[in-house]
């Protein structure tokens, strides 16, 4: 069993360094949780595992500074969500006890989540921005607190300057963080989207993308990107808006091919529905 297999009774108080089983109903989510992407399928799989074997690694919690009878998660929110899905009434926790003000509790929770969580680069960048904007950290402070160099922090923050649809590309792994850092240096939304489309059409790697971005800076889009037939480009854009997917047309009006790219099973099923294919009937 984990540490001291001890329940939190009505008048009992948690002490540091103890593992206790406490009611799940008195644990609140972390208000500064940087991780926003909790995959439903992954949570269901974890819930099934927890229902069978229980939680093997305790959650890390802190006392809620606004309500002494409640706690909030510092690390382990995914396990907390899965435990609720599994119908568990109690979960093992480790109390992190520090004498701090309310804002400091939240700051420490945010830092610990950056260090522990498997965040995508957008979530990580937003967490750094929160430390800077909400708690007055410099980039050097962020780097020191999370154990990374300042350049890593600066590169992550540059990604936040990209349009939201580019963020979606990163989160859904259509673009890598390396691609994002390269196109963030363009500082021009039009050029950014032109390069983004070309990356997806030609499946450019990061080095090729960096080279293209350099050409865009010094030569402009007219010379850096091959010219596209205006009619075909219009048709491709129209198809993108209808299908809500990446569409590329290669060739001419007389001969060529249309390519549809999908990045998840859900997008593939959407294509099938739009094409009139009923997977349930087949």
What does the domain layout of the chain look like in residue ranges? 6-101+108-118, 161-224, 230-274
Q: Is 77 a catalytic residue?
A: yes
Among the listed residues 181, 71, 190, the one whose alpha carbon sits nearest the alpha carbon of residue 125: 181
Q: Would you place residue 257 in the very low, low, confident or very high pLDDT band (cuts 50, 70, 90)?
A: confident
**Pick the catalytic residue: 77, 112, 123, 124?**
77
> What CA–CA distance (Å, rounded) separates 171 from 81?
21
Tell me the per-residue pLDDT of 185-234, one tens digit each, with 9 for 90 and over: 887 888 888 889 888 888 888 988 998 888 887 765 545 555 446 677 77
What fold is seen in the domain 6-101+108-118?
Answer: 3.90.1530
> What CA–CA distance (Å, rounded) separates 12 from 200?
58
CB count within 10 Å of CB 73 equals 24
Highest mean pLDDT among 29-33, 125-129, 227-231: 125-129
Q: List C-alpha distances in Å: 213 to 157, 198, 208, 218.
A: 19, 11, 9, 9
Q: Would you place residue 117 in the very low, low, confident or very high pLDDT band (cuts 50, 70, 90)?
A: low
């Amino acid at each position: 069993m984990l540490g001291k297999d001890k329940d939190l009774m009505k008048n009992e108080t948690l002490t540091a360094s103890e593992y206790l089983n406490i009611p799940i109903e008195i644990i609140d989510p972390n208000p500064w949780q940087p991780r926003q992407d909790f995959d439903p399928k992954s949570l269901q799989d974890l819930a099934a595992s927890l229902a069978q074997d229980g939680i093997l690694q305790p959650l890390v919690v802190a006392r809620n500074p606004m309500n002494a009878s409640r706690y909030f998660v510092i690390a382990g929110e995914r396990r907390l969500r899965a435990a609720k899905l599994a119908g568990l009434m109690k979960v093992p926790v480790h109390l992190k006890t520090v004498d701090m003000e309310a804002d400091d509790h939240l700051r420490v929770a945010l830092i610990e989540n950056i260090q522990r969580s498997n965040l995508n680069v957008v979530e990580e960048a937003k967490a750094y921005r929160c430390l800077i904007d909400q708690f007055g950290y410099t980039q050097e402070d962020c780097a020191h607190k999370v154990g990374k160099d300042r350049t890593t922090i600066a590169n992550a923050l540059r990604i936040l300057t990209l349009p939201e649809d580019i963020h979606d590309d990163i989160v859904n792994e259509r673009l890598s963080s390396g691609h994002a850092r390269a196109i963030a240096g363009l500082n021009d939304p039009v050029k950014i989207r032109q390069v983004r489309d070309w990356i997806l059409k030609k499946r450019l790697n990061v080095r090729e993308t960096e080279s293209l971005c350099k050409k865009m800076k010094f030569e402009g889009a007219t010379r850096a990107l091959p010219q596209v037939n205006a009619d075909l480009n219009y048709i491709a854009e129209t198809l993108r808006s209808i299908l809500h997917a990446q569409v590329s047309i290669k060739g001419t009006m007389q001969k060529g091919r249309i390519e549809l790219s999908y990045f998840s099973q859900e997008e593939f099923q959407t294509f099938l529905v739009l094409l009139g294919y009923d997977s349930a009937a087949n």
